Homo-oligomer: A and B are copies of this chain.
Amino acid sequence: MSITVVGSLAFDTVRTPFGERKRMLGGAATHFALAASFFDEVRPVGPVGDDFGEAELAVLSTRGTIVDDVERVAGGKTFFWEGEYGWDLNSRETIDTQLNVFEHFQPKLSPAAQACDVLFLANIQPDLQLDVLDACDGPRFTAVDSMNLWIDIARDSLVKVIERVDAVTLNDAELRQLTGKPNLITAAREILSWGPSAVVAKQGEYGAALVTGEGFFALPAYPLETVVDPTGAGDSFAGGFVGWLARNSAGTPSDSELRQAMAYGTAIASYNVEEFGTERVARLTIDEVHERVSEIQRLTHFTVEALQ
């Protein structure tokens, strides 16, 4: 059993009200892999430059992640993002984006990566996501993430990707933009009609919602008094969500399985934002994850004692 994730490996410079970190390890595939590695063997596929060293590979290898599909571009520089978060961490401004080796990235999957049981297409150009789908040997479960940029400039290709995957993770605004539907439930059901069996709406500090053919489910974010750095929360969530399903669900995930997977995604994402970058999740233990999932269960539970 293994999970392949195709996406960015990056250096991030991040300023939040709690401080600043320069050129720390980041990227969607990195955050996804660190989260999913609790559940299964993970193979991140993505390009890095000469500046991506042994220290970064060591963090990426946490909990057995296989880094053989990390493509080293000789003479290249790793993707770089710089951003700053506002007072309440709900807004962020991109200060600099340098695509570097990502500009001409063409995914090349090893036979082992192609033979994955589960595939996560992190946020990259949708035509490359289609290439990856073509390259894989029919994974049992596939999920895709994307962003407003690709809805703007490559919507047709993104729709083709979505038609071929089992689950979609987007934020509320992206779901509305992609479908042109102002209502979140209607937007999610429209996407279900294209093919996927599950749509996850990522809602930042409000948590995440799940829409399937069977119904609706929502979980709040785990309540933290201090959120240090929200970068990578969505990818950590996806890693916990997809990772849990890879390990625990045999066929098409049931609603009950998807709900548990949402809880694991929520738990790991909440640890991710407690410190900068990968710092917290790199040293996180599965016991801590289980503990937080139990807390999330308590936080969302209520009993109707007597209907009067």
When distances are taken between beta carbons in the complex, the residues of chain B under 8 Å from A176 are 88
What residues on B are CB-neighbors of A24 within 8 Å?
A: none
Instruction: Determine if A283 is an interface residue (Cβ-Cβ < 8 Å).
Output: no
Query: Contact string, A160-179, partner B, CB cutoff 8 A, digits 1/0?
Result: 00000000000000001000
The segment out of A50-58, A99-107, A223-231 that lies at the interface is A223-231
Contact B260 A299 (CB under 8 A): no
- Does the CB pair A184–B205 fall under 8 Å? yes
Report the separation of the CA atoms of residues A149 and B72 in the bound assembly, to the nearest whole angstrom.
57
Partner of A185, one of B186, B223, B305: B223
Interface string of A206-228 (1 = CB under 8 A from B): 11010100011111100111110
Number of interface residues of A (CB under 8 A): 49
Report B-chain residues with C-beta under 8 Å of the C-beta of A184: 205, 223
CB distance B209 to A220 under 8 Å? Answer: yes
| Residues in B whose Cβ lies below 8 Å from that of A216 | 223, 299
- Is A256 an interface position by the 8 A CB rule? yes
| B-side contacts of A182, CB under 8 Å | 17, 87-89
Contact B203 A302 (CB under 8 A): no
Q: Is A183 an interface residue (CB 8 A)?
A: yes
Q: Are A263 and B299 in contact (CB under 8 A)?
A: no
CA–CA, A182 to B205, complex, Å?
A: 12
Known A176-B88, A182-B87: A304·B300 in contact at CB below 8 Å: no
Task: Find A217's partner among B203, B300, B304, B305 (CB 8 Å cutoff).
Answer: B300
A290 to B304, CA, bound (A): 10
Q: Contact residues of A with B, CB < 8 Å?
A: 17, 87-89, 176, 182-186, 189, 203, 205-207, 209, 211, 215-220, 223-227, 247-248, 256, 259-260, 262-263, 290, 293-294, 297-305, 307-308
Task: Given contact pairs A247-B308, A256-B305, enumerate 19 new A-B contacts (beta carbons under 8 Å).
Answer: A88-B176, A88-B182, A183-B224, A185-B223, A185-B224, A206-B206, A206-B207, A209-B220, A216-B299, A217-B299, A217-B300, A218-B223, A219-B300, A259-B301, A259-B302, A260-B305, A262-B302, A290-B307, A297-B304
